[in-house]
């Protein structure tokens, strides 16, 4: 039986082949709370990997949907038929798109709103015409999502405490940009350690390369679980 700490860990299957993804899921089945299938894995394998994953653990489908409301609604409906546990949409799509997605989701799916990517900074926002500070823009989008029925939010660990203070237990908070102590942050700009993110109010931690890029992914997960426990 997984510990409560292990249930909080979502491993991102950002690998090059279906064979690698399946091997990771077999290795870590029973060790983590869910597996994240993102754009890289989904583009490579399609829905087949999701179907295979059901035997090994819950699936977080991280496609960050952002399109016209009808298209997003149909995609959410299709994801529900595949049985995914979590699905992401971009809150910058606006209230009509969010409501369409919420209306199309199945009852047991957590629909998560993406605020600002963890690779983005104030400079990134300024480049696309957004004058707000990153934290202010995150809060603006989060309020929009919650007001329109979103189940949870995806935000960096740096904004997790602000969001928890704002919304309490009304929503789930999922934090990417998790880097255990002394690991390489890569392209993440707003990151934190697993313990820092949980202390800030995160419900789930999305962890990729610090697990999948190691020689012994199971040992890497166990070290994170020990840190959290």
Catalytic site residues?
A: 64
Left if phi > 0, otherwise alpha if psi is -120 to 50, otherwise beta: which for 152?
A: beta
How far from the centroid of its chain's Cα atoms is residue 36's Cα? 7
Query: Which residues, other chains included, contact 178 with Cβ-Cβ below 8 Å and sequence gap of 6+?
Result: 157, 191, 192, 193, 194, 197, 205, 206, 207, 210
The residue count of the chain comes to: 229
> What does each C-alpha distance from 203 to 143, 171, 197 come to in angstroms?
18, 9, 9
Q: Helix count (H) and strand count (E) of the chain?
A: 12, 8
State the DSSP code for 92: G
């Amino acid at each position: 039986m997984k510990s409560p700490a292990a249930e909080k860990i979502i491993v991102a299957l950002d690998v090059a082949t279906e064979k690698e993804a399946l091997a990771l899921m077999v290795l870590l089945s029973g060790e983590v709370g869910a597996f994240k299938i993102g754009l890289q894995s989904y583009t490579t394998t399609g829905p087949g990997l999701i179907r295979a994953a059901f035997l090994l653990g819950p699936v977080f489908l991280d496609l960050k949907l952002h399109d016209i409301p009808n298209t997003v609604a149909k995609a959410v409906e299709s994801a529900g038929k595949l049985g995914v546990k979590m699905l992401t949409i971009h809150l910058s799509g606006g209230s009509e798109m969010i409501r369409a997605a919420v209306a199309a989701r199945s009852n047991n799916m957590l629909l998560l709103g993406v605020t600002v990517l963890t690779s983005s900074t104030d400079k990134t926002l300024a480049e696309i015409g957004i004058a707000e500070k990153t934290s202010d823009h995150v809060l603006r989008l989060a309020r929009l999502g919650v007001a329109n029925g979103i189940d949870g939010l995806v935000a960096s660990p740096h904004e997790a405490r602000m969001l928890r203070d704002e919304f309490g237990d009304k929503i789930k908070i999922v934090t990417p940009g998790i880097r255990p102590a002394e690991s390489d942050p890569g392209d993440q700009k707003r990151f934190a350690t697993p313990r820092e993110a949980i202390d800030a109010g995160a419900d789930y931690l999305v962890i990729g390369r610090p697990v999948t890029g190691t020689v012994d992914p199971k040992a890497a997960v166990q070290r994170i679980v020990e840190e959290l426990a």
